Structure 1
Amino acid sequence: MNVYIKKSKLRNHQKVQITGSKSESNRLLLLQALYPQLQIQNLSNSDDSVLMQKAVSTKDKLVDIHHAGTAMRFLTAFFSIQKNREVILTGSSRMKERPIEILVDALNSLGADIRYLENEGYPPLKIVGRDITKNKVTLEANVSSQYISALLLIASKLENGLELTLIGEITSMPYIQMTLSLLREIGIETNFINNVVSVKPCSSTVSSQILTVESDWSSASYFYSIIALSAVGTEIIISSYKNESLQGDSALVSIYKNFGVKTTFLDNSICLQKVETNDKNSLKQFDLRDAPDIAQTIAVTSFGLGKECQLTGLHTLKIKETDRLVALKNELEKLGAQVTITNDSLHLKASDNIKQEVSISTYNDHRMAMAFAPLGLLVPIEIKNAEVVSKSYPDFWKDLKRIGFDYDTIS
C-alpha cells in the first residue's frame, strides 16, 4: 500500500493518544516473562511488541521475530537461560544481515550455549537454555545499547548476578538507564559506578505490581516535526507523557526549541505549539548518540524549514532496519536536498525549494515512512509501502487523517 499525501493543512487544537513506548514495553515484557506476577498497562500496540509478547510465551521450538531487532537481541539472552529448552531464533532476510556476534560472544563467555545456523555472527541462532553461573563480562561501550540491556534484563535470574564492564565512551546511555530504572522499579538491586554495571541476583520474590508504560517519545517526534512545519500559533496535544521520562527521545523537548516548537507539560500529556523563533543561525548541530532514532525526523524537519543541519553520533543507524544514513541521503536528494554522510554523521545543506510529487521509498523501515510524511504540509508527496508504520505505530495514518492530513491510499 502506498499513501499519496495531498498538500494538507493541519487542524488546530487536535488531540492524539499514542500507545506505550516500544522500548519500555519490550523490556517489561521480558521481565514479566521472568517474573509472571508483574502486570503491565498501556503496552505498545506495535508489531515489535506484539511479536515480543508472543515470543516470550510460546512453547514452539522455532521463533520467528521478522523485522523486530529489539526482540532478537532481548530474546537471544532470554532463551539462553531457559533451562532444558532448545530454540531456533530467526527473523526476516534483513534480520539475517544484522550482526549479533557481540551479544552471542558475551553470553557464551558467561556459559550460554548459542550457535549460528547460517552465517557466522548473524541470525538464525540455535539456543540451548542452561544455568549460567559466571557473572563477569566486558563489552565495548559504543556497541548497540540493546546488547547491553539484553544482558542486564536477564542478570537478576543468573545464579551470581552480573558485573558488566563497559570499555570506552558509552552510546545511547538513556536506554541503559531505562533498563536499570525498570529493574529497580520491580525491586532488583543495581549499581552503575564509573563504567561498571552490576545487577544482583534476585534473592527474594519480586512483589506483584502494576507497571504503566509511558507513551512512546519516538512516535511523538513526528508531531514535533508537524508542528515545526506549521504556521505560528498551531498547537496539538499528545498523551500520555511525563516530565521525568526514562526515554532518551524525550530530548525532543530541547531539540525542537531550535525549530520553534514549545512544549508544555500538562497533567498527563504535552501541548506542542509553534512559536516565533529569534534564532538567526541557519546551521543546526545535534549530537544524537543518546537518541539516534529521531535522526530521520530531525533531518526531514530541517530540510522542510530550509535549515542546514549537522547530525552526529549516528553510527548505530547503519545496522537498523536498513542503513538509515544511506536511505536518508537517497530520499532527501530526490526532494532536492544536498546531503553528505559518513559512518556516523549526516550534513544537510539548506534549500529553499522542495520538489513536488516525489515518491519516497521506505526500505522496510517504519521511521522512513513516518519521518517524511510531515512534508505533506508543504508539498504533495507519496510514501511507498506505507503499512510499514505498523512496526512501531499502527495507527499513524489514522491519526494523521484525524488532525487534517488529506491523502489517498493506493494498493
Structure 2
Amino acid sequence: MKIHLTGPKNQLLKETFKITGSKSESNRSLLLSALYPGIQILNLSNSDDAQVMEAGLKRTEGTVDIHHAGTAMRFLTGYFSAMEGSDVILTGSKRMTERPVQILVDALKELGADISYVKEEGYPPLHIKGKKLSKHKVSLPANVSSQYISSLLLIAPSLENGLELELTGKITSVPYIKMTLALLTEIGVESSFQGNSITVKPKTEVKPTTLVVESDWSSASYFYSIVALSDEGSQITLSAYKKNSLQGDSVLHKLYGEFGVETEFGENQITLKKVSEPTKATVSFDLANAPDIAQTIAVTCFGLRMGCYLTGLHTLKIKETDRLDALHTELTKLGADISVSDKTLTLKPAKNINSEIAIDTYNDHRMAMAFAPLALKTSLIINEAMVVTKSYPDFYEDLKALQFGIKEL
C-alpha cells in the first residue's frame, strides 16, 4: 500500500499519545519469561516483532519463520541452542537470509551448541538442535551488533555455570547491553560488567516478578521530529516514559535541544515543546550508542534546512536494509546534498526541498516513519507504507490525530 502524505494546515500542534512498549525491552522480557515462567509482563509492545518473538518462543520443533525481525533472529538463535530437546529451522524473509549471523553462531558453538547452516555459510536459515550448554567462557568482537551480545547474556543465567563473556575491541551500543543486564538484575540474576568483561551467574528459578516495559523511545523520535518541524509553541505529550530509561534512544531528549525542542519529564510521561528555532547551521552527533535514530535526525535536519555530520553508524549497513545507502538515495531524490561512508553521514544545508517525491521504504519500518514528519514541509508519497507495523502499528492513526492528510493511493 502506498499513501500520499500532507502536513496539517495548522502547524501549531497540541496532542497526547500513549506509545506502545519498547520492542527491545519487550523481546528481552519475553525470552526471560520463557526461561522463567514466574515472570509477568506489562505494557508489552504490540509490534509485529514482539508478536513474532512470542510465537517463536512457544515452538520446540519445525520451521520458525521470524520474517523481518532481526532481534527475534538473534535472540531465538541463543534460546533454541540452550533449549534441550528443541529441533528447529530458524528462518526469515529474503533480507533476513542476507543478514550475517556467523559471529553469534560461532560463539554459541564455542559454548557447545549444535547449529548448522541450511544454505549459505554464515547466514540464516539455521538448523538448531537444543542441548545442555556446559561451557561458560566465550569471546566476541565488541564492535558487532549488541543483539549478538544480548542473545548470549539472556540465556546466560539458565546455563549451569552461567557465562563469562570477553568483548574484544571498542564496544558498540553499550546502552542495549546495559538494558539486558538491568532486566537480569530485576529478576534477581547477579552480573558484573567491568571493562570488556561481562559475567552472569547461573540461576535455576526466579521469584514471581512483574516486568513493566517502558514505552518505545525509538517511536518517540518521530514525534521529536514532528515537533522540531512544526511551529514554535507546539507541544506533544507521550506516555509512558521515565527519565532514567534503559533505552539508548532516550538520548533524544538531549539531542533535540539542538533543534529547539525542550523535553519536560512528568509522572511516567514526557512533553515535547518547540521553544525556539534552531540557531546552528550544522550539528554533529556520535550515534554509536543510538544508531536507530540516525534516519530520524537526518530527515529532521533536512526539513529544517540544516546540515549534519553523523558518526558511529557502522551497524546500519546490516539492518532491515542498508540504511545509509537508503538514506542517501531517498534524501537525494528530495533534493539533498548528502554523502555517506560505511559509518558516517554528511548532509549539507538544503537549498530546496522537492515535493511529491515517492519515498521507497526497503522493507524498513524506520524509513517510512523517519520520512513521514517531512510532510510538515512538503507533500510526499510513502511506498509500502504499512511496513510500520513492524514496530508501531498505530503510527498513521496517530498522525491523523495531528491532522496530517493521509490518502491511500
TM-score interval, smaller chain:
over 0.9
Aligned to 2:72: 71
- 2:327 paired with 1:328: yes
Q: What is residue 200 of structure 2 aligned with on the other side?
A: 199
> Bigger CA drift: 80-89 or 381-390?
80-89
Q: Distance in 2 between matches of 1:103 and 1:7?
A: 43
- CA–CA separation in structure 2 for the residues paired with 1:358 and 1:102: 39
The Cα of 1:13 is off from its aligned counterpart by: 2.1
- The answer for the alignment partner of 1:316 in structure 2 is 315
CA distance in 2, matches of 1:233, 1:256: 15
The corresponding residue for 2:45 is 44
1:379 to partner: Cα distance: 0.9
Indicate the SS of the match to 1:154: helix
Counterpart residue identity of residue 107, structure 1: L
SS at the partner of 2:158? coil
Aligned to 1:214: 214
Q: How does 1:11-410 map to 2 (within 5 A)?
A: 12-203=13-204, 205-277=205-277, 280-410=279-409
Kept after mapping to 1: 8 A contact 2:12/2:232: no
Whole-Å Cα distance in 2 between the matches of residues 276 and 45 of structure 1? 34
Maintained 8 Å contact 1:141/1:170 = yes
CA–CA separation in structure 2 for the residues paired with 1:3 and 1:224: 22
* Distance of 1:12 and 1:93 partners within structure 2: 40
Distance, in Å, in 1 between the alignment partners of 2:7 and 2:250 is 29
SS in 1 for 2:309: strand
- The CA distance in 2 between the partners of 1:91 and 1:246, in whole Å, is 28
The CA distance in 2 between the partners of 1:276 and 1:387, in whole Å, is 33
Alpha-carbon separation, structure 2, partners of 1:291 and 1:12: 27
CA drift of 1:282 comes to 1.0
By how many angstroms is 1:407 displaced? Answer: 1.5
- 2:272 is paired with a residue whose SS is strand
Quote the Cα distance in structure 1 between the aligned partners of 2:126 and 2:370: 33
Contact in 2 for aligned 1:65/1:72 (Cα 8 Å) = yes
User: Helix, strand or coil for the counterpart of 2:167?
Assistant: strand
Shift of 1:403: 1.4
Cα offset, 1:159, TM superposition: 1.0
CA–CA distance in 1 between the matches of 2:302 and 2:247?
26
Give me the whole-angstrom Cα distance separating, in 2, the residues matched to 1:51 and 1:44: 11
Cα deviations by residue, 1:13-70 (Å, 9 ceiling, x for unpaired):
2011101000000000000000011000000000000000011012441100000000
Mapped to 2, the partners of 1:161 and 1:96 lie a distance apart of: 30
Query: How many residues align structurally?
Result: 408
Between the aligned partners of 1:78 and 1:231, the Cα distance in structure 2 is 48
Q: Measure the CA separation in 2 of the matches of 1:59 and 1:116.
A: 18
CA distance in 2, matches of 1:194, 1:235: 41
Aligned partners of 1:257 and 1:105: how far apart in 2? Answer: 42
Aligned to 2:317, what secondary structure does the other structure show?
helix
CA-CA distance at 1:11 after TM superposition: 5.9
Whether the 8 Å contact between 1:11 and 1:404 is mirrored in structure 2 is no
CA distance in 2, matches of 1:85, 1:248: 33
Letter of the structure 2 residue corresponding to residue 173 of structure 1: V
1:226-260 CA-to-partner distances (Å, cap 9, x unmatched) read 00001110111111100000000000000000000
Q: Secondary structure at the match of 2:276?
A: coil
Residue pair 1:11, 1:403 contacting (<8 A) in 2 also: no
Q: RMSD of aligned C-alpha atoms?
A: 0.9
Per-residue CA deviation, residues 359-405 of structure 1 (Å, 9 max, x unaligned), is: 10000000000000001111111100000000000000000001111
Equivalent AA in structure 1 for residue 101 of structure 2: I
Cα distance in 2, alignment partners of residues 88 and 163 from structure 1? 28
CA-CA distance at 1:281 after TM superposition: 2.8
Instruction: Kindly state the Cα deviation for residue 266 of structure 1 after the two structures are TM-superposed.
Output: 1.0
CA distance in 1, matches of 2:41, 2:7: 40
Contact 2:154 2:180 in 1 (8 A): yes
What residue identity is the alignment partner of 2:30? L
Match of 1:137, SS state, is: strand
**Counterpart residue identity of residue 321, structure 1:** E
CA contact (8 A) 2:68 2:93 kept: yes
Gaps of 5+ in 1: none
Q: Is the 8 A contact 1:233 1:274 kept in 2?
A: yes
Letter aligned with residue 20 of structure 1: G
Unaligned runs of 5+ in 2: none
Q: Is the 8 A contact 2:7 2:403 kept in 1?
A: no
Q: Is the 8 A contact 2:23 2:50 kept in 1?
A: yes
- 2:193 alignment partner AA: F
Mean alpha-carbon deviation: is it higher for 62-71 or for 6-15? 6-15
